[in-house]
Amino acid sequence: MKITIEHLEFPISVKEKLLKIPKISKLHIEFVNGKNIHFDKTNLSINEPHQIIIGNDLSCIILLTYPNDNNFYLKDSLENITLETIKFLILKML
How confident is the model over 47-82, as pLDDT tens digits? 999 999 999 888 899 999 988 888 899 988 878 999
pLDDT at 50: 95
Helix (H) or strand (E) holding 16: helix 12-19
Global confidence as pTM = 0.84
The DSSP secondary-structure symbol of 56 reads -
Q: How far is CA 69 from CA 11, 36, 49, 59, in A?
A: 10, 15, 10, 26
Span 12-41, average pLDDT: 90
How confident is the model over 80-91, as pLDDT tens digits? 999 899 899 888
pLDDT at 69: 82
Give residue limits of the domains in the chain: 3-93
